[in-house]
Structure formats: C-alpha cells, structure tokens
C-alpha cells in the first residue's frame, strides 16, 4: 500500500518519497530544513535548507534505480532560471542577504520504494552573478 491506500505507486508518491529521503539525508549531514515546497505562481522550490550560514535551494529528482539518464538532466536551463528567480523572491521577501547556492539531489529507488540511493550535487548550477541584486 502506498500513502494513498492503493497498491500502485504514482508519480506524486515517488516525488514525495524522494523529497522525504532528501530531507532526511540533509538533516543527517547537519543541514537545517527551513522550508519545503515553497511555491510561487511560476515556480516551486522543493527544499530550502541552511548549511551553516549558506541558504541552499534544493531541487529533488526521483528516478528508477538503474536509470541510464541521470535525474539531474531534467533540471534544464529554463527550470534553473525559475528556481533562481524563486529563490531571489524568497530571500527578498524575508529581507535576508546570505551566501546561497543551488543543489540537486537525485534519489534513485526501486518500483516499491523499498531501496534507494542518493546522489547530492552541490553547486549544481548558477553563479554569483546570476543573483547580483543581492
């Protein structure tokens, strides 16, 4: 049974599973989870965390174990731009100007969500000049 009471695991279940495992992984590494699923009209940030004083905006991608194409490939330029714009809105709305970075966490799992592997890509995209407004 999945979280919705059915035997079939759907895309939303896999996504939630991946985000939950990514949060658990980050906490174990000493990160503080600040917010999950931060949404604006044009974008969503899966996880906002702090690694000491650095705000980390994390995109989580969950795929099947043994996938030939890395999950991070789906975080294309357009998606990156949306995440960067949303992160600037988040920080401006909170009136904070910290160091920041963009990470991708790939979660690879089996069909039944029993086994999984995590790959954490730090500084996956963006550069300091991308958010020069700060």
CATH number of the domain bearing residue 48? 3.40.1350.10
pLDDT score for 133: 40
Enter the pTM of the model: 0.86
- 92: in domain: yes
**pLDDT tens digits, 85-122:** 999 999 999 998 879 999 999 999 998 899 999 999 99
- Strand pairing category for 100-109 and 54-64: parallel
pLDDT score for 120: 98
Count of domains in the chain? 1
- 4: in domain: no
- 18: in domain: yes
**pLDDT tens digits, 68-91:** 999 999 999 999 999 999 999 999
**pLDDT tens digits, 19-46:** 999 999 999 999 999 999 999 999 999 9
- 5: in domain: no
pLDDT for residue 128 is more than 60: no
52-72: average pLDDT: 95
pLDDT score for 7: 54
Please, are residues 102 and 84 in contact by the beta-carbon 8 Å criterion? Answer: yes
Domain that holds residue 104: 11-131
Residue predicted with more confidence, 10 or 92: 92
Phi, psi of 16 (to 5 degrees): -65, -45
Please, are residues 83 and 43 in contact by the beta-carbon 8 Å criterion? Answer: yes
- 2: in domain: no
């Amino acid at each position: 049974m999945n979280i919705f009471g059915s035997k079939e695991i759907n895309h939303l279940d896999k996504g939630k599973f991946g985000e939950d495992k990514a949060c658990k992984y980050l906490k174990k590494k000493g990160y503080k989870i600040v917010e999950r699923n931060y949404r604006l009209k044009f974008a969503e940030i899966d996880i906002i965390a702090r690694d000491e004083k650095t705000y980390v905006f994390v995109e989580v991608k969950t795929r099947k174990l043994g996938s030939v194409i890395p999950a991070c490939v789906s975080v294309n330029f357009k998606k990156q731009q949306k995440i960067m714009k949303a992160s600037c809105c988040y920080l401006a709305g909170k009136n904070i100007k910290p160091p920041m970075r963009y990470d991708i966490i790939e979660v690879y799992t089996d069909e039944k969500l029993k086994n999984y592997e995590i790959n954490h890509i730090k500084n996956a995209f963006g550069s300091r000049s991308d958010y020069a407004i700060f």
